[in-house]
């Protein structure tokens, strides 16, 4: 489990738990572009590559954020 690398507790979905969920669309494709990378480090090995799926939002600690990209 990736969380164990950072000594973090595993998370589960359940009544009374805070939500931490990524909303993901499998049918979309994403091309990683340098100007869309939110990380401070821009040396992403996936820049220019087409990947299956796309993230369109998150739910985290009561915050709901949609990733709306205009085409």
pTM above 0.85, yes or no: no
Number of H helices and number of E strands within the chain? 1, 3
- Residues in the chain, how many? 71
Task: From first to last of the 71 residues of the chain, give the pLDDT tens digit.
Answer: 678 888 888 877 888 888 788 898 999 888 988 887 777 877 888 899 999 998 889 988 888 999 876 54
pLDDT at position 13: 80
* List of domains in the chain: 19-71 (2.30.40.10)
pLDDT at position 67: 81
| Cα 49 to Cα 58: distance, rounded to the nearest angstrom | 23
């Amino acid at each position: 489990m990736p969380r164990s690398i950072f000594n973090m507790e595993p998370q589960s979905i359940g009544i009374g738990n805070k939500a931490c969920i990524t909303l993901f669309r499998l049918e979309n494709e994403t091309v990683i572009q340098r100007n869309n990378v939110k990380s401070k480090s821009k040396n992403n090995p996936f820049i220019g590559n087409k990947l299956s799926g796309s993230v369109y939002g998150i739910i985290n600690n009561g915050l709901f954020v949609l990733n709306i990209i205009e085409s």
